[in-house]
């Protein structure tokens, strides 16, 4: 299921673009979408998919830290 891995990787790039363009709300929504994205069957759980979810989690945590959103950071 490389398609889902590629989709998640593309979403990471989208989130980074939002960050670079100072569209933080859009970046947060994109990273949250990646984190919540279901990987329903074992074939979908690839190194790339896990890496994308991990990357989204770290980037979202960084935004929360930078913006002082402590409660959101704790929940993450």
Entry pTM: 0.87
Long-range contacts of 5-10 (CB under 8 A, 24+ apart): 5/44, 5/46, 5/48, 5/49, 5/52, 6/48, 7/37, 8/34, 8/37, 8/48, 8/49, 8/52, 8/53, 8/56, 9/48, 9/52
pLDDT tens string 41-71: 888 889 999 999 999 999 999 999 999 988 9
pLDDT tens string 2-54: 588 899 999 999 999 999 999 999 999 999 999 999 988 888 889 999 999 99
In the predicted structure, residue 1 carries a pLDDT above the cut 50: no
């Amino acid at each position: 299921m490389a398609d889902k891995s590629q989709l998640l990787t593309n979403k990471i790039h989208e989130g980074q673009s939002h960050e670079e363009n100072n569209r933080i709300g859009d970046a947060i929504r994109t990273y949250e979408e990646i984190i919540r994205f279901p990987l329903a069957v074992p074939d979908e759980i690839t190194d790339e998919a896990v890496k994308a979810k991990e990357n989204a989690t770290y980037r979202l945590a960084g935004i929360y830290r930078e913006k002082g959103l402590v409660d959101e950071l704790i929940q993450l």
